[in-house]
Amino acid sequence: MSFIQQLQAAWQSSDSLLCIGLDPDLERFPQAVASGNDSIFSFNRAIIDATHDLVCAYKPQIAYFSALGAERQLEQTITYIKSTYPHIPVILDAKRGDIGSTAVQYAREAFVRYQVDAVTVNPYMGFDSVQPFLEYQDKGVIILCKTSNSGAAQLQEVELQAQAQEVQAQQSGQKGEPVYEYIARLVAEKWNFNHNCLLVMGATWPQQVARVRSIVGDMPFLVPGAGAQGGDIASIVQAGQTAQGNGLIISASRSILYASAKHDFAEAARTQAAALKNAINQHRTKHAAAL
């Protein structure tokens, strides 16, 4: 089963577009989590067990593990999901992007060492930096397009114009295509030859999400920023969902993981995740029709 097929099955079985980002921050861990060599894995396992029926994916962020030398606990977390809840896809949030020979190793890291189902990548260095990931045909390659951070516009909304059309466009007052639209078109038209591409589209930019949806058709979007970053759920679902009422992997991390700093942290995470799942489903076209 390819990642896209696995994702479609997860959307259906969970009736959810929610993805929980696993960003373990030791400074925010509740006291109920025992300290020690496996504290990160213990925390993640409690969150996963409490929320597994509410999500379509989990998304561990590699920096939170590697900064602490906790790669083994990242491996434990991924293995636990795959052995206990094998129907739930695992996305490695790594945002890799480097020259071709190095990209080959990053692709091996994600798909061979960690055995995740999909990974986030940065297209800034061009096709040869993404190609090694695309060659894993059954894996998802999630390409940064319009990210949720406040500084994204500094590069992603810079307007481009083809050289041959530049003078004419300037004379007519026509605006050029922003970088994020160019990336979306490039991925949809040239890079998605194995039909395993997705795009990162931040929840803080619903108008841009709608624009990219019109460009790429039903290509799935990973949508960060729906929790602590303040993305509006109604706007993002209405802007980004497909005609089938899916097409989105809406990710939240801190707002769920750290819903409580007490012994009930896992139960609080479940409550927060259930509320977010329900809020998303209220605005899904297909889901509303079914009700």
Q: Which residues are catalytic?
A: 95
Q: Give Cα 248 distance to the centre of its chain.
A: 9
Distance, in Å, from the CA atom of 188 to the CA atom of 219, rounded to the nearest integer, reads: 8
Distance, in Å, from the CA atom of 83 to the CA atom of 203, rounded to the nearest integer, reads: 31
Instruction: List Cβ neighbours of 40 (8 Å cut-off, separation of 6 or more).
Output: 24, 26, 65, 68, 70, 73, 77
Stretch (H or E) spanning 213: helix 206-216
Q: Are strands 118-121 and 91-96 parallel, antiparallel or unpaired?
A: parallel
Distance, in Å, from the CA atom of 96 to the CA atom of 104, rounded to the nearest integer, reads: 11
